[in-house]
Structures are given as structure tokens and as C-alpha cells.
Homo-oligomer: A and B are copies of this chain.
Amino acid sequence: MNEAVAGIDIGGTNTSFGLVSREGKVLSKGTLGTRQFAEADELVHAVSADLKQQLQSLQKQYPGIRLLGAGIGAPNANPYTGMVEYAPNLSWKGLVPLEKMFSDALGTHAKITNDAKAAALGEQMFGAARGSRNFLVITLGTGLGSGIVANGEMIYGHDGFAGELGHVLVERNGRLCGCGRHGCLETYCSATGIVRTYHELKPDAAETVDSKEITRRALEGEPEAQEAYRFTGEMLGYALSNFAAITSPEMIILFGGLVKAGDLLLNPVREAFEANLLNIYRGKIKIKISELHESDAALLGSASLIYREAFKE
């Protein structure tokens, strides 16, 4: 092995980072609490110091191995400017030039992108979308994130913020969203969305449960939890049938905690998807589950930012 890429995933709660081989193996990794650093540059230096140590350890096993670059996934990251822009879920305010900060701290080339788009690029390089030039990745986390790849390229739009599928309006006068509008897809199809659905179905529940608990209950056969999954899947399948008519993808890949419910989610997604799909697309578009291990996916996605650039056809 001659080279490795640093993959860095900055989340609202945790920041994970590690060294990734070209074959998509996470060679070493670490985690830090994002909120323990008041300023972005403190986090950047702590992460970079740890990555340098990881590289030194790796050099014992692979003498001469060098860092090819650092790929960073972060919320509200703009790949055109290299900055995190006004991230509501991070404590640093305004514009933060994270790409340059990591490049300086690590002494290497750095590239930043939005976390859901990093996940999509990771699927393309290492996961379920290997070899595909037209696909969507939908991340079902606290919100609903997405990455749209068309003609082999990530769609960033003219300002760097394309692919906000979580904020496509699916219900007029629907649920209130964090963005201030009503009826956004992510108010239904996300970890927080299914919690709202479950508690609407079970208004007398003694305590608020989280999406993991709903998944557990659904897999155990609780009718309300299963119905929450059915409703979530139906909403998602309906929305996906509309997205299909826009970019006509070869496949749609679902990622995140909710997909652990398996067929409880997938069956209603696929059913609503095919039922609402324009005839010319029927039977052509696969709905798949991510093939990346959840804990590695963010690092692989971030690292793929560098590998795809370095090894472009």
C-alpha cells in the first residue's frame, strides 16, 4: 500500500475520522465529540493531530505510505466555496473555511462536501452504486438527506446546495418543518418523522420513544409501530416515484437507521413507488439498501471525494 486518504465526517454530535485505502477499507479510525470544541479550528487541530498519529502507526506496517488527501463531509458544506455555511446544527456561526483549514493543518489537498452527498459518492465508489452513472442516495437520519448523481456527476446546482429532497413539499398544509414551511418530506420520512407518526397513532403512549425503539417494537410485531413503518414507506415511495421522473435513475439507495426495519419499510416503499410511477419507468428502477457498513459509510464517502478526483477516467 503506497497511499491512504483521510476521511472526516463532521456531525452535529460526533466527528469521526480515519484513514481509508483505495479499496475502501477503513485502516484506522477515531471519534471526537463535536461540541467539546467551541471553535472550528480547535476541532480541526485535534482531528488533524490524531490523523497524523494514525498515519505514523500505519507507516510501521506500510513503510513509505503517504497521505493522498483529506475528504470532509459536513452539514451545510458548500463544495464550490470549500466552506460550511451557516450550519444550524453546529456551534460555529457564519462561514467556516473548513476545506482550507484541514488542508493547512494536514499539509495535504482537502475537499469538502455535504454529508449526504459524501454518502452518495461513497456508494458509487465502494457500495451499492458501483459502476452506476445515474442514481439517488436517500439518507434517513434525523432529517432526510440526499445525493443525486446524473451523467456520472454529483448534482450540486448553481450554488452548491442542490439535492434538498428532504425539503420537497409532499403535503399541502402538512406537518411543520424545521425550515419553517409545512409538508416537507423529511417531516414524514426520517427518524424524527416516524416518531411523530408513531405518537400520532398512539397518542396515549406513556413516554416519547425514539426511532430505534419503534424499529424494535415493529420487528416484535406491535401493530402501531408496524403501521408507522407502513405509512412512512408509503410516503417515501410516493415521493420517490416523483423523483424518478426528474432524473430517471437506474437505482435509488436507502441508507440510515430506519432501513434496519428491512421489509417493514421496504415493502410499502416499493409498492407505493411502482403504483405511482409513470409507465415508462415501471420495472426499470431498483430500490436498494446501502451496502456500506453504517459506521464506516461516512468515512468511505468522505474519502471517495479524493479518490474519485485522483483516479478519474
Contact = CB atoms under 8 A, between A and B. Distances in A.
A150 B155 contact: yes
Contacts of A157: 134, 150, 247-249
A168 B245 contact: yes
A246 B134 contact: no
A241 B133 CA distance: 26
A242 interface: yes
Contacts of A284: 159
Q: By CB atoms of chain B within 10 A, which of A134, A153, A278 has the most?
A: A278
A277 to B, nearest CB: 9
A62 interface: no
A111 interface: no
A291 to B, nearest CB: 19
Taking residues whose C-beta sits less than 8 angstroms from the other chain, chain A's interface range is: 35 or more
Interface in A180-196: 180-181
A181 B278 contact: yes
Contact of A279 (B180, B241, B246, B281): B180
Interface in A263-305: 276, 278-281, 284
A246 B243 contact: yes
A148 interface: yes
Given A164-B245, A169-B241, A158 B134 contact: yes
Nearest to A284: B159
Contacts of A278: 164, 167, 179, 181
Contacts of A168: 242, 245-246
A15 B167 CA distance: 41
A176 interface: no
A103 to B, nearest CB: 24
A162 B246 contact: yes
B150 A181 contact: no
Nearest to A85: B280
A165 B248 CA distance: 11
Contacts of A37: none
Contact of A153 (B151, B163, B181, B245): B151
A156 interface: yes
Contacts of A169: 238, 241-242, 276
Interface of A: 132-134, 148, 150-151, 153, 155-165, 167-169, 179-181, 238, 241-243, 245-250, 276, 278-281, 284
Across the A-B interface, the 5 shortest Cβ-Cβ residue pairs: A157-B248, A162-B248, A158-B250, A134-B158, A164-B245
